[in-house]
Structure 1
Amino acid sequence: MLQAVSKLTRSEPVLPSLIRPIAPQADHSGLAGKVTEIVLQNSDFEQMTMLLPLLAQLSNDDRWFAWIAPPTTLPKDLLEAAGIDLNKVMLLQPDQGHSTYQLACQALKAGTCHAVISWPGALSSAELSGLEDAAENGQSHGIVIRDRRAA
């Protein structure tokens, strides 16, 4: 079972909810069912600022936008200033029963998320293929962000 953050705000506690499969919606961006890899020189959030416009655009869809295992606490003020709708962002963290890879596959396959961005660390070719299959099944777009050393 996936635990999800239904709302990211500055002062409110995080409330868990469930990811439930829904019928895939039409994707007008042409990205549904695909996985994009982004390789950064290191995991510093400063390098991710160039991705903020992309993240803001992805958060404009009617479905959820899932972030799985981001490497640091994400500065909410910066995300909001970039235009990211934090009310549609679901933050998932791996636990003993679910790896980052497993959470990403489940979120992609469920179809409730327009896009799923994950920071899996090392990822095998078989796992990348698994993410691609899950994205296609759920008509969601996967974004994998990795450190160059883990790529």
Structure 2
Amino acid sequence: MNLAPAAKVRRTLLQHKRPGLDRTEPRAPRAGNLTEIITHDTDLSSMPLLMPLLAQLSRDDRWFAWVAPPALLPKTLLTDAGIDLGKVILLQPDSTHSVFDLARRALGAGTCHAVISWPGYLSEFELKALEQAAACGDSHGILIRGREQA
């Protein structure tokens, strides 16, 4: 994938608000838009039904963030599925940012229309926090987890 350096992307994605979106003004409450996909494994190449959805999500004007995918995916697999790699930001956790934290911040920033993450197990508190962040940022969150992590 043709991606910017992680530190710069993380700073840009997580610190800037979407133009025209003033967080000081109260907003009508929205339902968080979070979808969980439970699979027998988390390999995207084994989920052919998901690829058209990801391609559709990559066509929005805002970024499409992928947080901690289980492996680097072949460019050809993604482009053949119609995914616009120019709109995809890859975020990887590090010692100061967990998968949950990156997903929550990307959802809430308003700069991503969709955030797909592979978070592993999440508590009820963490799920609620992701739903709230999705509502705040007007974003779609997709969580891909294996059965043992659900």
TM over 0.5, yes or no?
Answer: yes
CA contact (8 A) 2:45 2:77 kept: no
Indicate the residue corresponding to 1:140 in structure 2: 139
Matches within 5 A, 1:1-150: 8-9=1-2, 14-15=4-5, 16-17=8-9, 18-19=12-13, 20-22=16-18, 23-24=20-21, 33-150=32-149
The alignment's C-alpha RMSD in Å is 1.5
In the aligned structure 2, how far is the partner of 1:43 from the partner of 1:141? 19
Q: CA deviation at 1:58?
A: 0.3
CA contact (8 A) 1:63 1:113 kept: yes
% of aligned pairs identical?
57
Instruction: Letter of the 2:17 partner, please give it.
Output: P
Partner SS for 1:84: coil
Q: CA deviation at 1:21?
A: 1.6
CA contact (8 A) 2:65 2:115 kept: yes
Instruction: Letter of the 1:21 partner, please give it.
Output: K
CA contact (8 A) 2:67 2:99 kept: yes
Instruction: Letter of the 1:98 partner, please give it.
Output: H
Per the normalisation by structure 1, the TM-score is 0.83
Q: CA deviation at 1:46?
A: 3.0
Aligned residues: 134
In the aligned structure 1, how far is the partner of 2:135 from the partner of 2:44? 29
Partner SS for 2:49: helix
Per the normalisation by structure 2, the TM-score is 0.84
In structure 2, list runs of 5 or more residues that go unmatched. 22-30
In the aligned structure 2, how far is the partner of 1:144 from the partner of 1:100? 11
In the aligned structure 2, how far is the partner of 1:76 from the partner of 1:141? 23
Partner SS for 2:47: helix
CA contact (8 A) 1:40 1:148 kept: yes
Deviations 1:52-86 (A, max 9, x none): 00000000000000000000111111100111000
CA contact (8 A) 2:44 2:50 kept: no
In the aligned structure 2, how far is the partner of 1:117 from the partner of 1:45? 11
Q: CA deviation at 1:48?
A: 2.6
In the aligned structure 1, how far is the partner of 2:48 from the partner of 2:72? 14
